[in-house]
Amino acid sequence: MKFCSECGGSIELRIPQGDDRDRYICNDCDHIHYINPRVIVGCLPVYEDKVLLCKRAIEPRYGFWTLPAGFMENGETTEEGAARETWEEARARVSNQHLYRVFDVPYISQVYMFYRCTLDDGLFGVGPESLETALYTEQEIPWDEIAFPVVRETLEAFFDDRRRNEYPIAVKPIRFRRPPKSD
Ligand code: ZN
């Protein structure tokens, strides 16, 4: 952040009085620009013994498969946001939503929330952020082409839970893992 969105003044990073961490503060109007974590909301749409996945048409992880998910918008609930993203990415309507997985990812200041839900009438299409979409059984899922570890973990947990017919909610922190050395 370089300029104040309130007055156009210059911005400096310093600790405001009474605070305990650096904030972006306007040198002219003293406005404090707080930057807080972002919430990503998504669905795990289920139809019969299959789940709905989307092949990403955008970076990062272009061409890899994921659950429909995206940034929560202002003025909506997490449940509404997850359903909206499912419509946008897979042209699918969902119902019977149950919170299933929450992932805290502090090193990138993000929170992921996935809802288990029913894919209404088994109907879906392809939204502009997807190359294609498909219903997959556990055996059919392209496990080596899943875009993100949190998606893979959510899918694996779902199929395990389905065998038990119990779907407990889990909240999990994802800690930064150093990438393997390449020399
Ligand atoms: Zn300002």
Residues 127 and 165 in one domain: yes
Residues 105 and 19 in one domain: no
CATH number of the domain enclosing 78: 3.90.79.10
Task: Grade residue 110 by pLDDT with cuts at 50, 70 and 90.
Answer: very high
123 within domain boundaries: yes
What φ, ψ does residue 50 adopt, rounded to 5°?
Answer: -125, 160
Q: What's the one-letter identity of residue 20?
A: D
Residues 106 and 28 in one domain: no
CA of 73 to the centre of ligand 1 (A): 25
pTM higher than the cut 0.75:
yes
DSSP 48: T
pLDDT of residue 138: 98
- Side-chain-facing half-sphere of 116: CA atoms under 13 Å: 17
Cα–Cα nearest to 118, from 172, 47, 62, 70: 47
CA of 72 to the centre of ligand 1 (A): 27
Contact between 68 and 143 under an 8 Å Cβ cutoff? The reply is no
Residues 65 and 28 in one domain: no
CA of 125 to the centre of ligand 1 (A): 45
Residues 52 and 31 in one domain: no
pLDDT of residue 176: 78
Q: What is the mean pLDDT of residues 103-114?
A: 96
Domain with 146 in it? 39-173
Residues 49 and 108 in one domain: yes
178 within domain boundaries: no
Residues 48 and 89 in one domain: yes
pLDDT of residue 70: 97
Residues 28 and 79 in one domain: no
CA of 29 to the centre of ligand 1 (A): 4
Rg (CA), the chain: 20
183 within domain boundaries: no
Residues 2 and 45 in one domain: no
Domain count for the chain:
2
Task: Grade residue 179 by pLDDT with cuts at 50, 70 and 90.
Answer: low
Q: Is 87 helix (H, G, I), strand (E, B) or coil?
A: helix
